[in-house]
Every structure is written in structure tokens, then in C-alpha cells.
Structure 1
């Protein structure tokens, strides 16, 4: 085989490998994330146009759920402290969507090929979910704190107020709201 053909085969095989699922280097700066991963910003802006969920709300949610790691999974559960018996939940990917909720999203949107480790699909999922939370619960798409509570607890749980008895979750949601505002201010300066 000639060199050019060998190089072509190597490049083809390398391109079929897994994606870059690692987190961006500086998660504290929305402009740095946008600069390092422009495909993230394109996906989030597309979701904002489609579903009306602001980029900064999507970013804060994704930070909390996966730290922008595309193949993030929940930790393992252990029997007797040492024997792994599965994951804490079926949450996976950038959005940490559960299997059942992801399947509902695929049905509702007709996007059967959507993958949780694809940034475009993950941001679209977040937009779809938060749009539904606005319709069903009356939550503003700009209210990252309340949207996150509904995202974490499910809309039914949120409607029942299940989050109110979870001080730790209320703290997490408040931090999501603060991060959303931080990202909003940063994005204004880097556009």
C-alpha cells in the first residue's frame, strides 16, 4: 500500500473513535467555554431560538448536571461497601437525562436518533424540558433556580413541592441560579 492510502485509513479509523467528552478547561468563565468549545455555543443558541431557553440558563444547568462532560454518569452503588451493583440512576450525558425522560423527548420531538452524549441533542433536550415546565408549571425560562428544581425533581415532584423538604437541593438550585446570572453577565461582555 502506498503512504497516502495508509494515512487515509489511519485518519478514517481515528475519526470513528469516541468524541471529546472532557470538560472545558475554565468552567467559571462563559466566554472561555464559548471560545474553547464554539460548537457548544452554536448548539445553545440554536436551542434558545427554538425553545426560548436562554443560553446562560442552559449553561448553568449543564454545569450542575455534568460539568460539561459528555459521557458523565452517576456513581456506582455498592453492596457491602465493595461490590458494585449498578449506577445510582440511568442519568447519562451532558444533560444527565434519565432513560425514561430521554425516551419521552425522543417521542415528542420525533428525534429517535438523539444521543445524550451529543451536545446539540443535550441542549435541545434541556430546551424541550424547560419549555414544558413553563407550559405545565408556569415557570419562567429565565428563572434558572425554579427551572432547575423542576428539572431535578420532575414536573410532578415540583408541583407537589417535593423540593421544599430537601435543604441540600434548595442550596444546589440557588447556586444554579447564581451561576446562571454570572454566565449571563459574562456572555454580555464576550459576544
Structure 2
């Protein structure tokens, strides 16, 4: 009887964790990568899968994603108006990664991930793994270089090659900010990654 109660208790904890992990609300403390993944275990699983698949270290796309959407699943550019009449958004960017529609279509076509959604965290971070890999192939930017990766992410591969960012002091400043956060995330992750990786129970029920 006691065993059954214990099993029900653990299953309840697992259910609560799964529900909280699937929540679309942004993490409570986005400045700390350990706290992000401890709150949203499924995010860590997705980030780890991305790293193993694409070879891009977790802290780089996470820092870029924070800058792009503040981890909001439905983030989008502000609506533009003409004489108080909404005429559309400034860009087709949407979701966690703020991927534009055409670039997202390239990703789904090349990866075969046709059911991917920009407001799904796992799909969004996989997209960023794909993009950083393409950036490395096209423009030779290291997957560990958050500064260069972000400039490519913002300007596109062609724009980066033309040096379009050199005329945008504000963008260079933002890229440096992303790079700084990436390094801070990397340092934080080193302190908690063993804990995130360890334990069959946590990987099975809380991952």
C-alpha cells in the first residue's frame, strides 16, 4: 500500500515537472542559464540535442535567443500603422528565435523538419544550431564565436560578407552584449551541467 502511494507521489511530481517544462512563459531569471534549465528541464534536453546534432555550444544560441526574443514563444516585431490603421509588422520574424519566414522555410526544407514550429523551443533552438552551422560553412565563423554569429544572424550571410554591420554602431554594440552574455552563460553552465546530466530519475521524468 505504501509502495503504491510512493509511486503515485513520484508520478505526480513528474507530471508537475512536465507541465512546468512545457510552459510557454519565459524563465523567471533569464540572466542565469543554470536557473533557466533547472526551471525548464525540457529546454536543457532540447539544447543538449542541438549541441550534439550541430556541434554548436549551448551558451551561444541561448545568448542569441535571449537577445532576440527574451525567451518569449510568440515574440514578434511591433505592428506598424498608417493613420491609426494597422498595415502589418516590420518583419516576418517570429517566435523564440525570431526566425524570418523565408529563412525558416530554408531550414525546414534542408532538414526535412516540415512540422517544425517557430513557437516551439526545441524547434527554435534546432533552427539556431542549423543557422550557426551554415554561418560556419558560408563565412567561416566559429560556432563558439557569439559575436560573429550574431552579426550573421542579424545581417544575413550576404550582408555580413559585405560588411553591412560596420555602418551600424548600435548593432556592433548589441553583438558585443550577446558575446558577453554568451561567455557568462558558459561559465554558469559549467557549474551546473553535471547536475543537469546526472541521475536516471531526473533524465527520465524531469528532462
> TM-score band, normalised by the shorter chain?
0.7 to 0.9
- TM-score by length of structure 2 reads 0.81
1:36 aligns with 2:30: no
Please point out which of 62, 66, 69 is paired with 1:66. Answer: 69
Q: Give the Cα–Cα distance (whole angstroms) in 2 for the partners of residues 47 and 131 of structure 1.
A: 11
Higher helix share: 2
Deviation at 1:20, TM superposition (A): 3.1
Q: Give the Cα–Cα distance (whole angstroms) in 2 for the partners of residues 152 and 20 of structure 1.
A: 28
1:141 aligns with 2:146: no
1:85 aligns with 2:87: yes
Q: Give the Cα–Cα distance (whole angstroms) in 1 for the partners of residues 48 and 89 of structure 2.
A: 32
- Considering only aligned residues, what root-mean-square deviation do their CA atoms show, in Å? 0.9
Q: Give the Cα–Cα distance (whole angstroms) in 2 for the partners of residues 49 and 148 of structure 1.
A: 21
1:97 aligns with 2:102: no
2:159 corresponds to:
157
> Which consecutive segments of 4 or more residues in structure 1 shift more than 4 A?
none
Q: Which runs of 5+ in 1 are unaligned?
A: 1-18
Q: Give the Cα–Cα distance (whole angstroms) in 1 for the partners of residues 173 and 132 of structure 2.
A: 20
How many pairs align?
172
1:20 corresponds to:
23
Secondary structure of residue in 2 paired with 1:23:
coil
2:109 corresponds to:
107
Deviation at 1:21, TM superposition (A): 2.3
Q: Give the Cα–Cα distance (whole angstroms) in 2 for the partners of residues 134 and 78 of structure 1.
A: 38
2:199 corresponds to:
none
Deviation digits for residues 102-147 of structure 1, max 9, x if unmatched? 0000100011111101111101100000000001100000000100
Q: Give the Cα–Cα distance (whole angstroms) in 2 for the partners of residues 20 and 75 of structure 1.
A: 24
Deviation at 1:88, TM superposition (A): 1.2
2:170 corresponds to:
168
Q: Give the Cα–Cα distance (whole angstroms) in 2 for the partners of residues 148 and 129 of structure 1.
A: 10
Pairing 1:114-133 to 2, within 5 Å after superposition: 114-133=116-135
Deviation at 1:83, TM superposition (A): 2.3
